A = this chain, B = another copy of it.
Amino acid sequence: MAMQLPAMSKDELCARLEALKAEYNEFKALGLKLDMSRGKPGADQLELSNELIAPELLGNFKASNGFDVRNYGILDGIPECKELFAQVLDVPADNVIVFGNASLTIMYDYIAQCMMFGSGAEPWSKQEGIKFLCPVPGYDRHFAILEHFGIEMVNVPTDANGPDMDMIDELIKDEKVKGIICVPMYSNPSGITYSDETVRRFASLKPAAKDFRVIWDNAYCVHHVGTPDKLLNIFEACKETGNEDYFIEVTSTSKISFPGAGVAALAASANNIAAIKGRMTVQTIGYDKINQLRHVSFFKDKAGIDAHMLKHAAILKPKFDAVLAAFDKSLAGKGIAEWTVPNGGYFISLDVYAGCAKKTVALCKEAGVTLTGAGATYPYGKDLEDKNIRIAPTFPSRDELCKAVEILCICVEIAAIEKILEN
């Protein structure tokens, strides 16, 4: 077992540091250019969906209701595409709206609508000092939307079961707290899935704000890498509590088929669906139905998607394993890092020695390894303990990844030793 670095003598640490720096400089001299910064599929994953562009998938361009998908019309998606997402999210097709290519845009737009027109009460923009709860570490693009609209973000810590629900119960007594934004399954970046108990407590929330909304970003609902986690269906859980109007669920095929050329969807209560459709009639005549038909013909149903996701998993599992094996080999037992072991999603969350995340990322950068910026997993980019780093192992090849993680581990240790020596 490795020795805990914080327990080492100064001499031991200095000797270790010297050895690490020699290794580091060797890597630096290679002039590498490796990117582990964003949750992008690798080129081999994209190949899995190449048949999506086959013309045969579009037949005579007719949707199941006889509608010509080439022409104008059908606001909320062709019936068979609504049904596909209904299966994926386990909700009735009537509670689904199919949009364009990105769930991010759906979320932005939903919050924009709440700002301009409210969610059953005064427009949020007319209520001073409104807040959202943000389970942390979390997704930087969620935080960017909230910051853009001037919504104050309040951190809620997360553990293996999800966010601290006692804290949330307390915070939502403030009617300025208008909602929560979260990734309940294979969370970005920790990869954890909310426990049944956590989901039930979400379904039982009693917010002071009557115009409260939870953005339930189920981006990774079918993105298993190891033994699949199971997420309790939030709308099922709400059947006992009557809270279904609080929840707006979104997902997309971005990491199932092609990022940027996939199809995104929203699931919500009948009340929310009616409200959203009401303003959609002003926004659009309809989204890309050809791409919707293409996706349904390619995947057919939920079982088809599950089978396809096994192919993604076969590519991703060795990458996740490579990162975790390197962490085990180089960081375990040293008292300077902790990390999650996700069963799915696109990320691993790495906590380095307190006060060392920025330094670690900078050291990596200097050696040609780009990581997600330190702090990005916190609202306003402020990780007060300066320790969380989001690891995105999917985009590089496995060889590049192994090299990148080897360098990362060296940087984690260098930064930690320098911090310990400072103290």
> What is A's interface to B at a CB cutoff of 8 Å?
38, 40-41, 43, 46, 49, 53-55, 58, 61, 68-73, 100-102, 104-105, 108-109, 112, 115-116, 125, 141, 144-145, 148-149, 254, 258-261, 279, 281-291
What are 24 pairs between A and B in contact, CB < 8 Å?
A41-B71, A46-B61, A46-B68, A46-B71, A53-B290, A54-B55, A71-B259, A72-B254, A72-B259, A101-B288, A102-B284, A104-B284, A108-B282, A112-B112, A115-B116, A116-B116, A116-B125, A144-B281, A145-B282, A148-B279, A260-B288, A261-B289, A261-B290, A288-B291
A260 to B254, CA, bound (A): 20
Which chain B residues border A259 with CB–CB below 8 Å? 70-72, 285
Residue of B nearest to A105 (CB): B284
A49 to B61, CA, bound (A): 12
Pairwise interchain contact B104-A285, C-beta atoms closer than 8 A: yes
Which chain B residues border A261 with CB–CB below 8 Å? 69-70, 288-291
Pairwise interchain contact B258-A40, C-beta atoms closer than 8 A: no
A60 to chain B, nearest CB (A): 10
Q: CB < 8 Å: which of B49, B104, B116, B285 contacts A102?
A: B285
Residue of B nearest to A294 (CB): B53
A256 to chain B, nearest CB (A): 12
Q: CB < 8 Å: which of B40, B101, B283 contacts A105?
A: B283
Q: Given contacts A100-B101, A101-B287, list 9 more A-B pairs with CB under 8 A.
A: A43-B68, A46-B70, A53-B53, A54-B55, A116-B125, A145-B282, A148-B279, A260-B289, A260-B290
Pairwise interchain contact A70-B291, C-beta atoms closer than 8 A: no
Which chain B residues border A102 with CB–CB below 8 Å? 284-285
Which chain B residues border A116 with CB–CB below 8 Å? 112, 115-116, 125, 149
A219 to chain B, nearest CB (A): 12
Which chain B residues border A148 with CB–CB below 8 Å? 279, 282
Which chain B residues border A149 with CB–CB below 8 Å? 116
A43 to B43, CA, bound (A): 38
A103 to B7, CA, bound (A): 63
A113 to chain B, nearest CB (A): 9
Q: CB < 8 Å: which of B49, B71, B141 contacts A260?
A: B71
Residue of B nearest to A283 (CB): B108
A279 to B112, CA, bound (A): 12
Among A53, A58, A141, A261, chain B packs the most CB atoms within 10 A around the CB of A261
A80 to chain B, nearest CB (A): 16
A404 to chain B, nearest CB (A): 19
Among A41, A46, A144, A284, chain B packs the most CB atoms within 10 A around the CB of A284
Which chain B residues border A125 with CB–CB below 8 Å? 116, 125
Residue of B nearest to A51 (CB): B55
Pairwise interchain contact B58-A53, C-beta atoms closer than 8 A: yes
A110 to chain B, nearest CB (A): 12
Which chain B residues border A282 with CB–CB below 8 Å? 108, 141, 144-145, 148
A49 to B109, CA, bound (A): 31
Which chain B residues border A115 with CB–CB below 8 Å? 116
A40 to B287, CA, bound (A): 15
A374 to chain B, nearest CB (A): 20
A40 to B74, CA, bound (A): 13
A260 to B99, CA, bound (A): 12
Residue of B nearest to A57 (CB): B53
Which chain B residues border A258 with CB–CB below 8 Å? 70-71, 290
A40 to B254, CA, bound (A): 30
Which chain B residues border A288 with CB–CB below 8 Å? 100-101, 260-261, 288, 291
A77 to chain B, nearest CB (A): 11
A282 to B145, CA, bound (A): 6
Once A43-B68, A71-B40 are accepted as A-B contacts, the answer to whether A260 and B285 lie under 8 Å apart by CB is yes
Chain A to chain B: the 8 pairs with minimum beta-carbon distance, closest first:
A261-B290, A72-B259, A70-B258, A46-B70, A148-B282, A108-B283, A261-B288, A53-B55
